[in-house]
Structure 1
Amino acid sequence: MKCLSIFFLLTTASAFLSPLSPTSPTSLQATPVQGISNEGKFYPETGKVPWDPLNLMNRLDDKGIAWFRAAELKHGRVAMMATLGWVAQVNHFSFGGYISPSTSVKFSDIAAVNPFDAIGKIPEQGFYQILFVIGAVEGYQEMIQPHYTLPGGSVGDLGAARCAPEALERMQAVETKNGRLAMIGIASFISAAMIPGSVPNLPVFFTIH
């Protein structure tokens, strides 16, 4: 359990990596990447410079950086949904009715247990639905042209945001920050559930009870 918690924390910390110049290992100047908001402009908390203390991104070209930033956005979006789902589950929120017409499992049956036990109560059809939605979203994003790793491509763009460039950059920065915070949040919830007391001062509202 401790190893799993450490893994979550390490993978979460990697979310704060920002691109460095691929030609200078010690550079603190951002490498412009299409579709990524200006790191210095909207990130005053890091001193308005990209933060990569381990120099993990300094040998990547623009295509590699775009790929990793896309992965960060995906992980952040999943973490935001997971955090919201965790809070709803531990407070036993549920919809009315049955989870599907072909099963006797009610939404309230799943909401009555903790997040870990709830996974085991999801019918097989539910997992298929989840995989289908994930596959559809992933497939759609990979088919958008130009591809997000190529010049002119937009990282994380699913076609939902249509606004002025300045507003879009700010929205991208807000989403990235929220996603990073959610990755820390869901990792903290899981750690606190597996190892009681491992996350000091975490309100009982967010833990399994």
Structure 2
Amino acid sequence: MDNSLKNIFERIGLNTKNGLIYKNSKNNPINARIKYSLKHIDYDALYALDNNPLIIFKEYNNINDYTNNYKKLLNQIWNLNDIPILFICRPDQIEIYNANLFNEDESRLAIFDKLEDLKSFQIEDIVNGSFFINYKNEFDKSKKVQNYLLNNISETKNILTKNNLPNNIVYGLIGKLIFSKYLIDRKIINYTTDDFYNIIENKKNYLTFLG
């Protein structure tokens, strides 16, 4: 089966006249904040309705490329917090995800082996809302990034205060953690996420990192 994005676009009724936007398109009406964030994401195209991106598409030409990179893509789209649906096109299958849910297995809406199976993912069904009605239960489970972050902050605060740390130190540590991760995600400082996790697991390394 030829699972190229071109064939997928034809099958679901998507083209540049009704909302398809290729990554390098000069005519990109999406707002500047989202457009800037997308610069850091490896994708191929978007579908936008009224200038709001609803679907992001990525094609992997071989299985190794997919295996090595798709989890990073899932995390990036979830962190972006603005695009609810992700299409991943691989040589043997098409995967569709609820990009607002931070769990790979639960976020996967469907896996298709044939283009013909995409009949339930037509663009007209996105526009008229029937797609979201059909998948209401899946999207009701969505956990937006800000909610996930707030829960993590609350849990971290509870752990630290149990160790009798004063609140000003607790909030200072949490603030530095969040800001440090932001600098790493934006590639402002030259550390990987794995580097950061290794650092914060060791008190001495973390204090050295903070300078």
TM-score, with normalisation over the residues of structure 1? 0.27
Which is richer in strand? Answer: 2
Q: Which has the higher contact order (CA 8 A, sep 6+)?
A: 1
TM-score, with normalisation over the residues of structure 2? 0.26
